[in-house]
Structure 1
Amino acid sequence: MNYRHYTATDFVTDPFFRSWILEQESSAAAFWENWVKENPDRQEELDEARALLYVLAEKELSIGAEELDRRVTDVLAHISGQAQRTEARMRPAFYRYFTVAASICVVAGIGWLGYLYMETKPGKLREAGIVQESSDGYIVRFNETKKPVTILLDDSSVVTLEPQSELTFPQKFAPERREVHLKGEAFFQISHNPERPFLVKTKELVTRVLGTSFTVRSFEKDRNASVSVKTGRVSVYSKRDEPVSGAAEKVIGVVLKPNQRALFDKRESRLVKVIVDVPLKVTEIPAASLVFDEAPVKNVFKTLEKAYGIELFFNEELLSDCQLTANLSGLPMYEQLDLICRIIHAKYEVVDGQVIIHGEGCKAD
């Protein structure tokens, strides 16, 4: 598929694009993140499509593909008129997405006045998460609902704020960096921008990224604070190691890849790297490729490395005679490792976000 000349409307109605934005499907994420790097001049269309999809999802509009295409076309035409009228007034960038939301409601039949009433009636601001808008341009959103709340930031990054969590962010990010503050838990999908690093700060940790998706959890009542990566890479370091204002940012901390997590023990002030509880595939492997018949175990381990993006270390010479006959399809990663190790009489442990296999080898028949 050639996406080079796609418009925002085309992206919104494309199932593969929607699987990336709304379903966070790993293979779609890998494709689109690479596509964005190769086509940076199409970023505006992607951002517009992303905003439209999130607003549609937030409003829970259940419509077919043809109807979605018609509505999006109408919305974009409406936005174009709104954007021309607001550009001269130098509105913040997020105002465009407020216009998107309102426009979709107009097309959906809710009406502009109805939209304004829904979003400003008593109690709605707290429910939606807008607790305070300060004079220095910062917004604080607290999620008091029982379900996640979606927040679209100035740079088109998307934050899914979990219940009982609070996010503080500027209406417009600074030119040199993007910074938000979190209390609680949130999932971040960061718009790629190598020139403007994105920082998520909690009471204990600082997470620094360029463009990726990850979860940060830091509740006051929890013993541990954590950062888990879904796509891309992030650097995590203790708040006490944060460079002073104006100093060069040389702190690297713990570098995380997909399916890795940084755990910070608040009592011991110790930061360690582990693997997430339920690793997800970063590369789709056909089910048939996970059915092995007298396969060299080194080939099995390499297949799992490719599937989960996690390094597996083992003594290749010692295990050279080990073969595996097993069906690993449909099993979570840890159950796959358990089954392999039982068959070849080995053990494994997780050290620094990696898997180390210990075995004495297999006797050749």
Structure 2
Amino acid sequence: MDRKTEKKALIRKYINGECTAEETAELKSLLLTDDLSVLFEEVMDEIASANTDLYNEPDLEDALAKFHKKQSAEGIKGNEPKILSLSPKKKKLRRYLSYAAAILVLVGSISILIPRLNKTPQQNVQVQHFENPNGKRSRILLPDSSVVYLGSGSTLSFPSKFAANVRAISLRGEAFFEVTKNPKRPFIIHTGNIVTRVLGTSFKVDAFLNQPVSVLVSIGKVRVDREVNKILHPIAVLLPGQSVVWNEQTHQSEFGTTPVSDILGWKNGKLVFRKTKLADIAAILERTYNVAIQINSPQLANRQIRVNLTTDIPVSKLIKILSVAGNFNYKINQNHVSIF
């Protein structure tokens, strides 16, 4: 094995976190004496070409932020650091820098500086804001032709024109998404500090204020992370029929399965409850119909019910169907429902 191959093998081991302490020290020494820019670039090119799973691709901004924070906190001792300059390959530069930043974050003590990308902010991009009051649902077409079915009591915000490398929106409440596939521009939903990332799929998100966040997938693949101080912590990668509920108060996740037909049915106004507490059903119906529902006993509120409902009928008829399934009595006075 020639010396160049040995150096590349050492760099690759470091990227994969497989270096021993002696090998890490050797790499540090090489960085102070040799210009490894070309070798780093070749290794990153090989990795980028081999890695087609965008879900596992390092995030540039997070990686760079962590690296610069470590550099500022620890300072640079000894010899002046070498600057790792990458050649301007426009089509792959962003991915190269992502891998380079990820390399540096692993240890943070190697004295290499990577120039930050010159990001040109989008000019004259307005933010679209949609808010549904209780009792209203809407269908929204996004700039990339993705479709959002926004639920009652929910809000959605997104730019009038998406950025070149990402499609980012914000949601509070519940919505069903049919995302146009585009591997080069991940679709990201921010719901508080939960980040849901997809490439092209359909799924439902529930993210009401001070409530657990749930993600249910009907088609494709969805990644769910928790963002803290701009650092993503993985929660789940979901496939069709899978779901996850994240409780921010307990910092616990609960995984489950949901029939795809149930998830798809929501966008058409179908509500499928499988052993669901009456109190939880009532909360959903309050938003959907803009009514107040009072349950007069804790035992009744905790009663678990199996029922299929549809929201294209009057609330009086729906409550009647629900009362048969839940075995309770009720009284309706205008927009107030009393269950006993």
TM range (shorter): 0.3 to 0.5
Q: TM-score, normalised by structure 2?
A: 0.39
Which of 1 and 2 has greater Rg? Answer: 2
TM-score after normalising by structure 1 = 0.36
More strand by share: 2
